[in-house]
Structure 1
């Protein structure tokens, strides 16, 4: 009987170790779901746009799509949009009209390996990418107080880091996370994910350094980034910052709830 118990314990330990090793080495596959595009791919969007490329080094190029308002004379500013961990700019382009109709251009950038962007996908490179986009927007004539930094899902940590070191009008976060290890802990609570995680992106550290107003949207039924992440971030916010809780909202459907586009309209029109 004791021998059988020892055998079963041994099997469980082996399974635990093997799964842990697989989890560690498969992090990029589990965390990132890019959809690459050929370099000669031609974008086609319903709103006015132009494509820009940021050549960072010999192997790294960041592809940017600048969605215009259609009337530069009435332009109020720009939204730097950092998207989620799936697809590429073509998927997220349908969010641009929510901002362009209110007089804000939308500058979307693809991460390395997403769309046409190339290079190594590292945490440091995410921060470099956001900094390069900010500089490009400023060079185009946008004042810091006319720039809104927007992050969705994976992009919320990247957006928050940028807002912690650059001046902007507002930081808007859609379904943010406390940190990457915090999300990993939700799915793999039996492992020491804090030291296993290749990516950390500590949103909770960055957000305490953000001077600009912060607005957070998060759904209570988010099955990808649990709402509890926003609960952990909320005590770190400034008194005037706000959390918009979407009852019954999931991870990719928040704009289906009227409160979200209505609040976006209000923020962009200074109400």
Structure 2
């Protein structure tokens, strides 16, 4: 009886280990599909927005290109480099451009590779490199003191990394995260994500290197990026002008509907 029980225990343990390994392999090889949910557009797709805009295509090589849209303000006093979330494409985020153009800022919004009409393999370093391309494009018209770097959701790490290596007027983060492993940890992840993830996106590593004023918006009811993950970034502030703005009841994608968000954003853009 004892021998049979021991064999059963060994069998169950081996099955559990096998399932754990298979789960880890699945996470490693399919993490892009878990983290990112792009909507691809054909090259001949025509954007239509209810505001002045210019479509920009930047060839990288014969097979890769970056797609971006410049939303235009009347007599622009500066530009916002807007790095969007992990789903869809520029079309889903264009509605937010008006928050900036009405305050005199152009908005340059790019799609990550594999999103919209951007082509190429998506990598973490590639996201950072492409953000730098957008910054250089903005610098052709504006000085660093006229450039605001803005990140939303997954784009907050991209925005923060860029602001850590280039000067800007201000860094604004909407629903940011400490890191992807930190988010996963709040949901009870059982894998060594720091070793597995190709997209750790460690915002916390870049934030202390940012010299521009930092403003973070986060809702207390965020059901995607826990409020606590974003709040941890406030402990890394160095500048007296840095500010963490709590939006009571705000979720992940509805902050623009809260007066506290819009009023504070307006005041920042008026400075």
Q: Distance in 2 between matches of 1:118 and 1:87?
A: 14
Name the CA distance, whole Å, in 2 between partners of 1:189 and 1:40.
41
Unmatched 5+ residue regions in structure 2?
Answer: none
Match of 2:21 in 1: 17
Partner of 2:219: 219
Inter-partner Cα distance in structure 1 for 2:205 and 2:165: 12
Partner of 1:167, secondary structure, is coil
Q: What is the aligned partner in structure 1 of residue 82 from structure 2?
A: 81
Superposition deviation, residue 129 in structure 1: 0.5
Contact 2:231 2:244 in 1 (8 A): no
TM-score (norm 2): 0.95
Written as runs of structure 1 = structure 2, the 5 A alignment for 1:119-138 is 119-138=120-139
Distance in 2, matches of 1:16 and 1:24, equals 12
SS of equivalent residue, structure 2 residue 60: strand
Q: Deviations over 1:230-253 (max 9, x none)?
A: 222111012320001112211111
Which residue is equivalent to 1:228? 228
**Alpha carbon RMSD of aligned pairs, Å?**
1.2
* CA distance in structure 2 between the aligned counterparts of 1:37 and 1:96, rounded to whole angstroms: 20
Alpha-carbon distance in structure 2 between the residues aligned to 1:261 and 1:55: 36
TM-score by length of 1: 0.95
Aligned residue in 1 for 2:255: 254
Asked whether the equivalents of residues 172 and 214 of structure 2 are also in contact (C-alpha less than 8 Å), the reply is yes
More displaced, 224-233 or 155-164? 224-233
- How many residues align? The count is 266
Which shows bigger deviation, 55-64 or 248-257?
A: 55-64
1:67 and 2:68 correspond: no
- Structure 2 residue matching 1:13: 3-state secondary structure: helix
Q: Offset at 1:58?
A: 2.6
For 1:188 and 1:162, locate their aligned partners in 2 and report how far apart those are by CA, in whole Å: 30
